[in-house]
Structure 1
Amino acid sequence: MAENARAFLNVQKRDRSTGKVDPSQVAEEHAYPSEGAGEHGLQTMFEFNPTADDLKWSDESAAAHILGVDASQIAGSGKEFASSIDGDVDPARSEAFAGRRESYACEYRLKRADGAGHWVEERGGWIGSGGNRRLISVIRSIENRKRREEELSYLAVSDELTGLLNRVHLRKSLDECIAKFNAGEATGAYILAGIDDVGAVNADFGFDAADKLIVEVAGRLKSIIGPDDHIGRVAGTKFGIVIADCDKEQLRQTCVRLLNVVRESVIETKGGAVAASICLGAVELPEQADNSNAAMTRAEAALDAAKRIGKSSWSTFTDKTDVVSMRRRNSHMSDVILTALNERRIRLAFQPIVSDLDETPKKFECLIRMSGEDGQNIPAPEFIPAAERLGLVHLLDRRVLELATNTLAICPDIHLNVNISMETVKDFVWAEGYIALLRANQELAKRITVELTETQVIDAIDASIEFVSEIKRLGCSFGIDDFGAGYTSFRNLKAMDIDILKIDGSFVTGVSSSRENQLFVRTLLDLARNFGMKTVAEWVDNEADAMLLKGLGVDFLQGYLLGKPETNPGWLPEGAPNDPPQRLERI
């Protein structure tokens, strides 16, 4: 059995016609390294004798675990084993067992004696000839992979925190309802609900309490809507609600019920009791919007109007609301951003990136900060999306790079990571201007890592590849931020020539107590090693997570445990210089 097994494995790893290693099988072996640990990582082999319909297992203990039976009860024949397969048997497997196919590979779910299903992968091939002809097959548990695929399928539709629809799928539901409304089948509404003062809850009670508030409000809102209605989380503290059938009076009643259900009782959190309230912006459909984009935009305007009234208020959209609200917001934020740039009120905050807990930081990520005219910081979520919407984000990207190069010029031992928006990368003129600034400071470029988020890269892969090629030619490194949040393919990873993968913080937070996150991080680390990339774990906020991550092989750590972002760190007490240092002219 052992000799047959070794011969089979040698055949399986090489293409039968060329004798070369099959890259698809190698990729598969490395795609889910975490399958090798625990019960779900078990694998075993069997030898099938077609004459006697006899199965011999290489590891009866592993086979018993996979099948969920005692070792004395494992299948001893091909027919008995086939009966444990849940559903129809793969035709390729059936043909192989009948001797009409030389090799096969399939996945199926086993019916285990304990009542739980279990996914496995089976690969087999025939060896020998005549009376010694045998089918040798490897069975490997892929239960973890299937669970992860199910989780990704769920997250593609649902919001991870609340379980409601995510923004994309709520928009699809809204489009479907509007199509019915436009056909004259009914009238309905789209309502945008925004939680009041979540920032204050964050500050006074902590992020966990804010998350509990969001989840509880989501549940209360869902309890009010009907079976044909839809609700989803469209932003951090905002929920979109599609009412499938209502008139003006029913819309008013629904809004009142939504307001009341949220404030009817306090929400208990670990930090204390929180009194919640919401504001609502409503749009009548199809009268006030005949497509989802218009409905969502006008609901935002109506929500702004409700917030100006005060907490626990609601407002319906009018033409005046839309014009005044959008024009006011755009005009105001445009002035704020441009004035801050002109008055040099854009600053950098530096967050340490270290390879070990006791290391003195020499590598930092540059995070953009903006001060208002009153000296108060304006949160990035308030001005970055507006800058992208108004076409001003290119100016911010350029200013961040200027401040970073100025800092590097006076700090020869520092390495900086800077973020760039996809809007700059996609725009040829602005991308060329960004690259020109790097070219003018090429002696500093080798100490700069430029970062793009994974989801941005996927959206414009061709532009990304060209941009990355240019900056690497100048000596910069390139990193993908929030890796794991999107679906970058192996081909794109190779084409991008990536130096750094920054693992999405949602998989890092609490990794020491989450087996699922550990398995996912292991997978990403193995992927990075195969491509020769370094890894950074973000959002590291406790020592247990840090120690586990280093044990798993993460190259660098970043998070509040290692240091919070500082605009005036000890190694740069005056902050990033607004102007480059004077250069001595050669005589």
Structure 2
Amino acid sequence: MARRSFSEPGTEDPLTYAVNERDKSILSMVRSALATGNTMLAFQPVIGSVTGEPAFYEGLIRILDDSGRIIPANQFMDVVETQELGREIDCAALRNGLGALARHPSLRLSINMSARSIGYPKWTQILKRFLTRDETIGERLILEITESSAMQVPELVKTFMADLQDKGITFALDDFGAGQTSFRYLKEFYFDIIKIDGHFVHDCDSDPDNQCILNALITIGQQFDMFTVAERVETRGEAQFLVDAGIDCMQGYYYGAPEVRPSWFLPAKAAGIRQAG
């Protein structure tokens, strides 16, 4: 009998099989965590270039396994972004973020979402419930949409933004410069904030190419009257170049790592608040 080759249909080599089984296990853990509400946010400050103080915080979703350990996002995020599970993660991030805004009246917070969650009934219901309870939440909420996600459905994003900006909600274009944003759409989107992709920030104090790109992106933001934020600032030299270039805010490990329990944080139970589902 001839031996079957791993290249034959219906067969997998051992490494591919192991990777696929691992992915299935991780996705199963993510589904279980979302079903039980085993999620939280890590908060990273976005620092004003002039004041040196937090202008707002970004809330980054963290998903926990049954033992309470954080499941690394890089192990599942690329897979779930195009699935229903990705929308459920957006819902969890929104719920946690709005809960934090409800407990901290002076907090301004940005939350990530995919354009795929626009019109998703569960996501919309969560937002409406919190806004009904406290209309000031909308004025302190920033929704971050990645450049690549926004360009998949630009007309839908424009309508979505227009509707929610009327409620005081701010919008940020995340990872700006990494995607394929048409300047026509950039003008029509009316994003309030652009967050410049960290690849251009790396070594910007010594890399002339990144310096040129950053100066151009900052100028674009200023021309369109958008607040500019540099992501992944990690050194004093990078921060100084950005300040001199006219950036409005900076975010990165130089100013602080994401924390699940920053000094100001008050959990829902301590505040006596029941989060809206």
The TM-score range, normalised by the shorter chain, is: 0.7 to 0.9
Query: Which of 21, 32, 56 matches 1:363?
Result: 56
Other-structure match for 1:145: none
Residues 463, 437 of structure 1: alpha-carbon distance in 2 compared, 3 angstrom cutoff: farther
Structure 1 counterpart SS, 2:61:
strand
1:436 to 121, 128, 131: 128
Q: Is the 8 A contact 1:403 1:578 kept in 2?
A: no
Match of 2:268 among 556, 577, 581: 577
Q: How does 1:196-275 map to 2 (within 5 A)?
A: none
Do the aligned partners of residues 401 and 432 (structure 1) sit closer, same or farther apart at CA in structure 2, a change above 3 Å counting? Answer: closer
Which structure: larger Rg?
Answer: 1
Aligned 1:390-469 pairs, distance under 5 A: 390-425=83-118, 427-430=119-122, 432-433=124-125, 435-437=127-129, 439-440=131-132, 441-469=134-162
1:438 Cα deviation from its structure 2 partner: 5.4
Maintained 8 Å contact 1:362/1:413:
no
Secondary structure of 2:95's counterpart equals helix
Compared CA separation, residues 388 and 487, structure 1 to 2 (3 A): closer
**1:136-147 correspondence runs (5 A):** none
- Is 2:219 aligned against 1:507? no
Structure 2 counterpart of 1:577, one-letter code: A
Query: How many Å separate the matches in 2 of 1:495 and 1:578?
Result: 42
Q: Give the aligned partner of residue 171 of structure 2.
A: 478
1:438 and 1:496 map into 2 onto residues whose CA distance is 25
> Matches of 2:115 and 2:216 in 1, distance apart?
27
Aligned residue-pair number: 271
Following superposition, which runs of at least 4 residues in structure 1 exceed 4 angstroms of deviation? 578-583
CA deviation vs aligned residue, 1:6-47 (integer Å, no higher than 9, x gap): xxxxxxxxxxxxxxxxxxxxxxxxxxxxxxxxxxxxxxxxxx
2:223 alignment counterpart: 530
2:261 paired with 1:568 = yes
Any idea what SS the aligned residue of 1:378 has? coil
> Shift in Å at residue 302 of structure 1?
5.5
Equivalent residue for 1:303? 15
Letter in 2 for 1:457: A
How far does residue 361 in structure 1 lie from its aligned partner after superposition? Answer: 2.3
Counterpart in the other structure of 1:541: 234
**Correspondences of 1:37-186 after superposition (within 5 Å):** none
Q: Specify every segment of 5 or more residues in structure 2 that has no aligned partner in the other structure, as ranges.
A: none
SS of the residue 1:354 aligns to:
strand
Equivalent of residue 552 in structure 1, options 241, 245, 268: 245
The CA deviation at 1:375 is 2.3
1:446-465 C-alpha deviation (Å, 9 max, x unpaired): 11110011011111111211
Q: Secondary structure at the match of 2:179?
A: coil
For residues 370 and 417 of structure 1, the distance between their equivalents in structure 2, rounded to whole angstroms, comes to 18
SS where residue 111 of structure 2 aligns?
strand
The letter of the residue matching 2:90 is D
- Unmatched tracts of structure 1, length 5 or more: 1-247, 253-281, 290-297, 309-324
For 2:148 and 2:139, how far apart are their aligned partners in 1?
Answer: 26
> How far 1:392 sits from its partner (Å)?
1.8
Computed over aligned residues only, the root mean square deviation of the Cα atoms, in angstroms, reads 2.9
AA aligned opposite 1:497? Y
- Conserved 8 A contact 2:172-2:191: yes
Shift of 1:329: 4.2
Q: Percent identity?
A: 30
In structure 2, the CA distance between the partners of 1:479 and 1:358, relative to structure 1 (3 Å rule), is closer
DSSP 3-state at the match of 1:446: helix
- Relative to 1, partners in 2 of residues 1:554 and 1:283: Cα closer, same or farther, differing over 3 Å? farther
Report Cα offsets for 1:98-151 as digits up to 9, x if no partner: xxxxxxxxxxxxxxxxxxxxxxxxxxxxxxxxxxxxxxxxxxxxxxxxxxxxxx
* CA gap 1:470/1:439 in 2 versus in 1, 3 angstroms: farther
AA partner of residue 268 (structure 2): P
Q: TM-score, normalised by structure 2?
A: 0.87
Find out whether 1:517 has 2:210 as its counterpart. yes
TM-score, normalised to structure 1, is 0.43
1:446 aligned partner, one-letter code: E
State the secondary structure of the residue aligned to 2:268: coil
The residue correspondences of 1:382-397 to structure 2 (distance < 5 A) are 382-397=75-90
Tell whether the 8 Å contact from 1:348 to 1:366 is kept in structure 2 after alignment: yes
Q: What secondary structure is seen at the aligned counterpart in 2 of 1:474?
A: coil
| In 2: Cα distance, 1:566 partner to 1:421 partner | 23
Give the Cα separation in 2 of the matches to 1:497 and 1:402.
25
Q: Which has the higher contact order (CA 8 A, sep 6+)?
A: 2
How far apart, CA to CA, are the structure 2 residues paired with 1:505 and 1:334? 28
Go from structure 1 to structure 2 and tell me whether the alpha carbon gap of 1:582 and 1:428 turns closer, same or farther (over 3 Å shift): closer
Tell me, what secondary structure is at the counterpart of 1:511?
coil
Match of 2:67 in 1: 374
What's the secondary structure of 2:92's corresponding residue?
helix
Cα 1:514/1:578, change in 2 over 3 Å: farther
Residue 339 of structure 1 corresponds to 32
Judged with a 3 Å threshold, the aligned counterparts in structure 2 of structure 1 residues 387 and 459 are, in CA distance, closer, same or farther, namely same
Post-superposition shift, 1:470?
1.9
Q: 1:511 to 1:470 in 2, by over 3 A?
A: same
CA distance in 2, matches of 1:578, 1:470: 33
CA distance in 1, matches of 2:198, 2:84: 28
Q: CA deviation at 1:374?
A: 1.9
